[in-house]
Structure 1
Amino acid sequence: MLLIWTSFLLPVALNNAGEAPETFSLKVPTEPITVQSGSSVVLPCQVSPSFSVDDLGVSWYRPEAVNSPVLHYENRGIQEKASDPRYRGRATLTGDLAKGSVDLALENLTVADNGIYVCYVSSKTWYESAEVTLNIRNVGSVPVLLLSEKRDGQVNVTCVSHDWFPEPTLAWRDGGGALIQNQHVQFSAVKYLMTVSSWMLTPSSERDWISCSVSLSGPEARESRVVPRISRLPTVPPEYRTSGKWAEAIMGILLVLLTLLLAALVLLYKKGFIAWSPKTKSKLRHFLNAPFSLPANDLVSFDFILSEAFAQQPQTGGCAAQETKILLETKRTAPNNTTESHSAMGHETEARTDPQPAKESVKKAEQGVKSTDTGSEIILIQELCCVRGWKVNLTLDRQSAPGFLTVKSAKSVKYSDEKRDKVSENHPAHVLCEQRFSSHQHYWEVNGFMVKGYSFPLKTPKGERQSSYAGVCVGGREPACLSPENGYWVLHHKKGTGLYANTQPPTAVPHARPFFTLGVFLDCEKHTLSFYNVDSGTHLCTFNNIPPHKTLVPLISPGVKDPDEMTLS
């Protein structure tokens, strides 16, 4: 590689000696070029005066890696072996070489691409170089605010946000928007990405909120708010702290709370809101009839009492159980095969297999071994109320929309009848979002997914959409087939067919009735993509094979048969 690069530094002879002037210069931007990570960019470089550079030598390199260029052009072709492996497949020459344009195009940018790039052009008699500065920005996560009580009515509020580049600015503000002076700010970095944290003490309040915002120098900002409220649970009087009476006081409070909770459960059971199996009823009755005692000199929390009381209660939804175990068949079935599709995905419709093999599969899955008997494995699916805390603000990328789709705003897209002649079967009917995700958890919602809306006050559907789909893809490629093998993980809806995941062959997804809002949860840490019926608050299906270390782009499609809008929220 060193020999190749050294030979390039020597003037390159032209096939036609009269085409290039004896001297020339390079025109490049004087100001830095700033883009978001995950996007693409073009670094301009123009030979002046303008002439054909087809027979010249052209190279783009980083100042710290002269012998390993980003891109090397010589003998009328790109020299792949001389290029830095990190840029292969991502770097190309754009522009018209016949007019002296040697612009460099870079795709799938990361924060590691931040810095200076040198444009180098040489002829038989002359060579020139010029520098272009590329600034990469990566907007981090929404700040997480944590509260802890301190003495004298003070509350310690901690703010943490991850994955920023370059170093962001953190600011605290009160309910009126005034800046709160605070110097307790710390930064840490892992593979270029910054984590910022800060803390402050503030008086406890029942209504006055404070906010923590993290931002780069520009419009990109993430903000969270919280009311610094101290919990009003009973405290232990001073005279009880030096004796054993405090334990008796706490136990009395816990027993009263437990009695109230059990009474509420009995009332819900009688009203028909809770249905327990005979086996669960027997175990709960045995617990209630058994003598209740606590270990001597041990502080037992109320959470422990609840966990002991309801260890046998089935988890039928809600955030009491942060995650629910779902038996997921790895066998894929066609949408019209309703018998097998019930065990493929989702739990809106109950899917059961023979109890004994299922227990064996659970046991193997807990040991990290995939079952070979039933083709099943255990995965953990979070409830809708738990994943909504990861909600992100998505915006649509107008440039990614095909000609027959109209992006009315950064949040809505629809099919346009006026552009019907531009519909192409070879072009997917979707629009990408501007955001790119490769780590952490992200949740968003798509409105108008199956039905066009509801009429009030009866809340009856206005009509079912003909077709639609939503999900994520790698990079934004446009294959003829939207399948996981081609980098697409989407949930389809088609009127008359229903819901189905885009596996090969497709997998039917059971659902009770058409709904308006679809929830999408991408967990880059667990490599899963989950879909939810937001109208009913139920889980639909989950892809558990999302590849790690990939940049994923959200997408939505309103179809090509309905003029009704589909929106992000």
Structure 2
Amino acid sequence: MSIITILLLMNLFIETSVSLTVLVPGDPVVGHVGSAVILPCWISPPENAEALEIRWYRHDQFNNTVLLYNHGKIQDVQEESYRNRSSLTLRSDQSGGLNEGDVSLRLEKLTLQDEGSFHCYVSGESAYGKEEVLLKIKGFGSTPVLVPKLLDDGRVNISCKSSGWYPEPNIKWTSVDGRVLRPGGSSHSRGTDKMFSVHSWMAISHSDAHLVSCSISLRTGELQESRIDVQAIISSGPWKALFLTFLICALLGLVGLFLYKYRDRLTGKNPADPNLRFVFILVVEDMTIEELRQHAVEITIDRERLHPDLKVSQDCKTVRDSADYNHTGQGFPYQLCAFGAQRFSSGRHYWEVDLAQENTPPKNYWLIGVMKDGNLTARDRSGLTPSNGSCFLCSDGPNGFHTNTDQSVKLSLTPRPERLGVLLNYDDGQLSFYNVKERKHLLTISSRFSGSIVPLFNPGAGDLSPLKIMDGPNPVEQAESSQPLLSNNSADT
């Protein structure tokens, strides 16, 4: 047999053994931190893939799989960081699934570490094929919060802050007529989650601009913007400027800091009893952990007013969903409420809630806040409204964080809190939330309290970690106590 014949036979063997054609998109797939993404991959021409091996893996780690489908089912062998986050899915509504060769991968709860290449490998008895999908990760941060401060020379120093960005964003100041303004300074910082926080500031007079805008954007075009009326602050004087700070955070800052949308509004009804009617969400001045813990109180769960599908520890500090609780998965289980045994009708009161156990990820589902004593039943979200006396921050897994204000506010909180601090300021009508581990103030909800208020807890359903109320916090070390929770950037100028 001639050498040419041998080469032709070898080439024919190689072609028949690699004849299975796998296709993926030509452009990178873009996903956002905390959300889900689909990495499309399919066989062409279409053929039934139910009897084939489907292997998704990263880089050159063929045996360390993101997902492995074989012998007609997904195998329980995968890289630990992708456990409970990966699945086979349809690349489009028109897809025929595995029957027609769609082997696309769905990834949930995206992190920055997911950025990079993913290999789609499909093999049968005599053929195989593989292609590479490139995943790009973005973090679309919170809309900027603008905080003005009236200076002695009549100018206004405006601070602009935002967090949760990736990659590093750009900052731009403009006037109402489109002129680009030069800031006094800007800084970027990265947290433990590798996301970027930005802070910029500038001192401006009425002659410089009437209306000032601070916009933060990615190079790909995503943009968040907030505006502030300089003339109103300068003409109002120091005391009114303080009031306008809060008002601007309400009317303009709500356009910033949070993305919100209307939902679950009671139509055609005015609340008969405005026990806890929300006014606005604002940013408060810095407080240290030590200052917060000066108001620490001991909180326990009231066993007598506990939902039957909840399980509470003997010390009444830990609560979770019962093992036999059958959650349909249709939305957050608002009915799984537990209430504090303590009642408050004046003063400041602070407590902390642990949302993660050692070697387990932070809880995805929880609801923490306060409730008017006596209004302690909820079958769904409609029973936890401001008019019914509730005020809370909720984490609804991949659906993100939200409050129950009259206009529901959706938040971008990164990193996900592992321990949440709650400060109830009854007399001033404020409920504040803090990420204790990251030493960050998350938000403050301004309300109008009346009667007795009790702590409100809901551990959600399906998480590995329970919800645990911490014992009365001990003061932090002196080295930490001097660091304000909000100052993770350069100091205000």
TM-score, structure 1 length as denominator?
A: 0.43
Larger Rg: 1
In proportion to residue count, which structure has more helix? 1
TM-score, normalised on structure 2? 0.49
